[in-house]
Amino acid sequence: MCGCGIIVVMTTTQGTLTAPAQPAYTVLRERDAANYIGMSRAWFRQGRMHGRGPVFVRTGRSIRYLTRDLDAWLDAHRVDTHEAGR
């Protein structure tokens, strides 16, 4: 493990571990997810407490974020400035 907070999930084929061309998905810790979208860790905590913010994964006491969920959340909050003023 590199200690960078990124976990890459691999897929298996017929019982052997294989590295896909693209990872199945990437899992980030809270601090890495905060850096990924440019928000603070406190913002993530508040979002979880109030039911806002990106979807997350809870396993026991650990909180993780999938990059695909962070990307989807960012896409959902895009504002087209050309359309916003109409």
- What are the tens digits of pLDDT across the range 41-54? 999 999 999 999 99
Is residue 29, in this structure, part of any structural domain at all? yes
Q: Backbone phi, then psi, for 63, in 5-degree steps? A: -115, 130
Is residue 55, in this structure, part of any structural domain at all? yes
The pTM of this model reads: 0.68
Give the residue with greater pLDDT, 15 vs 67: 67
d(CA 52, CA 45): 10
The pLDDT value recorded for residue 23 is: 67
Is residue 46, in this structure, part of any structural domain at all? yes
Q: Which domain holds residue 45?
A: 6-11+23-78
Is residue 16, in this structure, part of any structural domain at all? no
Per-residue pLDDT band at 83 (split at 50, 70, 90): confident
Q: Which two tokens stand for residue 79?
A: 């504002």
pLDDT digits (tens, 9 = 90+) for 27-45: 999 999 999 999 999 999 9
User: What pairs with residue 18 in β-bridges?
Assistant: 11
Is residue 86, in this structure, part of any structural domain at all? no
d(CA 12, CA 9): 10
Domain count, the chain: 1
Is residue 84, in this structure, part of any structural domain at all? no
